[in-house]
A and B are shown apart, each in its own frame.
Chain A
Amino acid sequence: MSAEEKTPNKKPEKIGVYVCHCGSNIAGMVDVENVAKWAGEELAHKGVVIARDYKFMCSSLGQELIEKDIKEFGLDGVVVAACSPHLHEKTFRTATEKAGLNPYMCELVSIREQVSWVHTDKAAATEKSKAILSGGVHRVLFDEPLQEMKVPINPNTLVVGGGIAGIQAALEIANAGFHVYLVEREPSIGGHMAQFDKTFPTLDCSACILTPRMVEAGTHPNITLLTWSEVESVSGYVGNFNITIRKKARYVNEELCTGCAVCIEKCPKKIIDDVYEAGLGYRKVVYTPFAQAVPKYPVIDRENCTYFQKGTCKACEKFCPTDAIDFEQQDELFNVEVGNIILATGYDLFDARKVTNYGYGRLANVFNSLEFERLSNAAGPTNGNIVLRDGKTTPKTVGIIHCVGSRDRNFNNYCSTICCMQSLKFAHLVKERTGAEVYEFYIDMRTAAKAYDEFYQRVLEEGTLMVRGKVAEVTDAARQPHEEGKLIIQVEDTFAGKQRRIPVDMVILSNGMEPRSDAKETAKKFGISCSADSWFIEKHPKLDPVSTMTEGVMIAGCASGPKDIPTSVAQGAAAAARVLDKILQKEVALEPIRATVDEEKCSGCRICNNLCPFNAISFVDDLAVTRINPALCQGCGTCVAACPAGAISGTGFSNEQILAQIDGLLMVA
């Protein structure tokens, strides 16, 4: 790990060049044979001894080609012109290493993402490919053999978010025998699933399948459950993260509380519950969000508490049989060390108020999807009776509108994937409980998963009326006598090819999912990236959907995009498998891209001293030179660029490598 003994490395003298066709992906726009031939001739003076083109360099045959050449020709440098290094750098470096050459003596330059896929003129694309390849060859001459740094992996894991995805991930890891810190910002785990009555397509009772999982997570000896808590800051890197957690004051001593709920019963103040009851029901100021909450300890909502506001009340304290109420409690900050992190922070519901023409928030009997979930929930504010806003009238006709806020240029372009199925579930529940006539207004019916289309058929057979068309407006302005007192849905029925006005008693908006409103901040805190919409970005959308570009940080569930419960659960388990794989390897290899100071050259000017974002740079007073701690350095290169004496070198991205690459890039006019 320390600065290696400085034997000047011999420059590579025998370089192999490999130009990939990528089927027709590259060869369709770049004359790959010509590029390879050109490199063999024009770059011979740079040491190119062999230049080939091949159909698929990343295939095992392509890799063997490189390995064979390294052995046969004694190559000491390899340049592959193919796809992005972010895709296959590892592949080609591994092949290089297999043949006995240091993997960092291999360069991959991109002529697919940066050339063939973005350009349309074959001659220009071919010339640009030559330039890019030449840049790689010039650069490889200054490559140095590097050794990966091995660091031990802390076997503990942090899971952020206790929805179904986070619970699943935590249980998988805990059951494998490793410790998990499960951090949830609400007073209970459970996430959105805890709000539902029935789940499509099987119509199992949500609480019946979720509660046992919550209890298991709450009592598991390997899980430290931290609810009403948030991650304050994160430092470190894969294998060795240091997490600061804020445990918000509950004003209830968890050691003493038995969860008897007497305090909740005695609290004189009720407020509207905007979170769990979606604004349809009430909760006390000292509360657990729902009866089966895990953990069972209540929380005092400081902002609404009469004691905190006016200095008197303390009803809860008086009646608590174990003296567990503690108005003096403070937020607690503490650190935990973990090797890996899983982010399962879920989604927010799209705010239907934004679609003003549907009248949500203005017209009383327009409900959003979560409100309907609460309305139909046997444990909800109406005990599962589906009634109008007046709390008693059963609707005779109900209209359900799909894609609210989704697949709409004015709001979100994406499909929320679950809204068609959730709408069908609603139709079924309304029919079953009220016998009302139900209309569904949809743009396209998307029921593409196991047993989903069968559910659609079932709802059709139950007699739900389907209208294909995007609803223009929901209004209470009647034009005809039979519309009086109703909500009228104005829609172009694209099958009938005409405008229709359909009067109903109740409208349910199937609003879709949105990223958490604080998703960008969360992403920044954990050093991962977000899409333009603010969904977390996966390392690879198909092949690596639960990893991120940041080593050691995994994602699961709806945090990376809309999903149903089965997919969220599968992702939770997959992310856990990724983490277990790392834990079992016991150590992780870090890229040896680090800065080092040549103490001979350092003048002690200290210009670099305050630049490092990771405090890796320190000044040795006795010797009046600067040193860099390689375990802390993350290799950004800022100090390298700043040193006026050229005393700092950045392995993998040295001045020599970059300057040579520029030369190479400019060799072709």
Chain B
Amino acid sequence: MGKIVAVTGNEAVAESLRQVNPDVCAAYPITPATDLMQRFSSFISDGKVDTEMVLVESEHSAMSACIGAAAAGGRVATATSSQGLALMWEMLFIAAGDRLPIVMPVVNRALSAPLNIHGDHSDTMGARDSGWIQLYSETAQEAYDNAIQAFRIGEHPDIRLPVMVCMDGFIVSHSIERVEYLEDAEVRNFVGEYMPVNPLLDIDNPKSYGPLILTDLYHEYKRAQHEVMTRVKNVVLEVAADFEKLSGRKYGLFETYRLDDAEIAIVILNSAAGTTKDVVDSYRSKGIKAGLLKPRMFRPFPYEEVAAALSHLKAIAVLDRADSFGGYGPLFSEICGAVMSMDGKPPMINRIYGLGGRDYMPNQAEKVLDELVGIAETGKVHTLKDYIGLRE
């Protein structure tokens, strides 16, 4: 049993990295992830880990150095946020295409313009097609737990893919919460010794990463990359089962809250799920059968399992903290994909909330649930996509 502490999300994730003790870390500071890597670099300076820290001149270089170190055969981690993730963009696809299991906590923050440092999901949603596994975290505890599991998932011999661990900027990264830490030895045993595959530093067996592959085989490589993603689900569940034995904390592909007998439900990611659960409770006490589904694994997206969990509902609201201008929110699109093959699809609405860190308040969830009550009665949707929490 480890200790119970009061820490911020950044502190908790930095602690998970200290316990894992990766071989190499290349990073560049960006609000609100700066503090995470700053804490981790203190662990390096204080001799608490033997990670090689590569200080670089940009996030593009940070991810490039991580790719090089991972191809060389190291266990590699970094962290970033917002514009930093955007600057890594081209390298993200290379990390995934080269099948390098880099672990990267991403502290979710809005993208410019206008410039904004607060939490929303436009950064990681923009990277959803990069081939990285994405895990989302409601709390500092979940971010800590996900970060540790991410190493096991990404490094699994059937997978070998990079993993993003997402948590909300400031709301989680800078707020102090109760977190249960595992013992150092428990974490070390859980992640195990790193077993590189095709490391460049195995100089007796020279090899090349990143070849030119044109019309002859590129299409086939991408088909193979999708296949790997189809195996991730089972590994995530297997790792979660082991993690539960260790920590007593249960994780799945998504979390459901009072959903089994619900008639209406909100689907929502990350910290806003906490607020929504409170509102679900208050509606339950009024006799309204409300529930919640919070995806944990967004890439690959567990379409079938989510569809099964939502199939009995009379109305669903999908709340997105990211937008696709001229399109639906990214989470809504996935839920549409999930329910597409269902008979008698429940009516759904998409509500965009909390962009650029706009507070998500209980009354926003209440308004959405009230609307769902009406939709469940009439089966009629007035406005499919709309924005909530807008100032008058």
Do A and B belong to a common assembly? no
Residues in chain B within 8 A of chain A (CB atoms)? none
